[in-house]
Structure 1
Amino acid sequence: MVQKVLFVCLGNICRSPIAEAVFQHLVNEKGLSNNWVVDSAAIGSWHVGKSPDSRARQILKNHNVAYNGKARQIKTQDFNEFDYIFGMDEENISDLNSEAPENPKAKIMLLGDFDPQGERIIRDPYYDNGSEGFEKCYQQCMRSSEAFLNQIN
């Protein structure tokens, strides 16, 4: 059975594309790529059609994780197409819950709820000067995605 997962952040150029890339990388490594459809989206429309922030792309490259997606905004049908929709912070979750249709198929959750180190909120590194926040985001996404996959499979 194919399961579908969508990662969502505010603009879909930092946290959610990193999470998407990490999750896809993990399912590929585990030989589960035929079992998962992985995507990401934004709450807002500011960056639609754009590549992720250069710092996000660099962090993924540093870890040999491939990614070539472009930002898109979440659509109403996503709530019934995906099995899991992961927000990166409480504001994302609030926005997702208010945009979701009644009785959506998708379970809306914080990705960080699966972090074995207990860091529930994946802080937005967009306004950071350097790339340290992007590395931290990558590590959080890796830990949380790994734990989620281990729980689900």
Structure 2
Amino acid sequence: MNHQIELADLSHDILCDSAGTSSYHIGSPPDARMTKAASLRGILLKGQARQFRREDFEKFDLILAMDYDNYESIVRLDSDRQYQDKVKLMCEFCRHHNVKEVPDPYYGGPEGFNQVIDILLDACEGLLEYVQKQPQFKAV
């Protein structure tokens, strides 16, 4: 998503961060196989893994889950259901791929990572269009 934000020259208007729902990889860089798949498309992955925190509900306007399990883990942290409308599945924004969830490529080969990058590029393009059309997300 940050790649799409930079291409659209919106880095000063949109903050995008990534967090997992488990603590397995906290502090780790992006997976080398995903980094390779992204670099083949001219995308540089940066950052390090962190775990989603309850305060992220207040910090971000949208919370996007890659699959149903992560979606459920996120909404469970919102026990008073105050932020449920902020949580969506990433694939809701796909324009060309007809998938409900982003598949987990972790135990597969390189083709799984290529498939995930393709799905995410599609979803990120759709998400960027969506955000740009929402008045509450407009920069002032």
Stretches of 4+ moved more than 2 A in 1?
Answer: none
**Matched-pair contact (CA < 8 Å) for 1:43–1:74:** yes
Q: Which residue number corresponds to residue 104 of structure 2?
A: 124
Q: 1:135 aligns with which of 110, 114, 117?
A: 114
Higher RCO (CA 8 Å, separation ≥ 6 residues): 1
Instruction: Give the letter for the 1:123 counterpart.
Output: P
Question: Which of residues 107, 110, 115 is equivalent to 2:86?
Answer: 107
Q: Distance in 1 between matches of 2:84 and 2:39?
A: 34
What is aligned with 2:136? none
Paired residues, number: 130
User: How big is the alpha-carbon RMSD for the aligned residues of Structure 1 and Structure 2?
Assistant: 1.4
Q: Pick closer, same or farther for the CA change 1:37–1:106 going to 2, 3 Å.
A: farther
Unaligned ranges ≥5, structure 2 = 133-140
The structure carrying a bigger strand percent of its residues is 1
Greater gyration radius = 2
The one of 58, 76, 80 aligned to 1:80: 58
- TM (norm. structure 2) is 0.87
Distance in 2 separating the partners of 1:46 and 1:141: 22
User: Superposed, which structure 2 residues align to 1:24-35 within 5 Å?
Assistant: 24-35=2-13
Gaps spanning 5+ residues in structure 1: where? 1-22
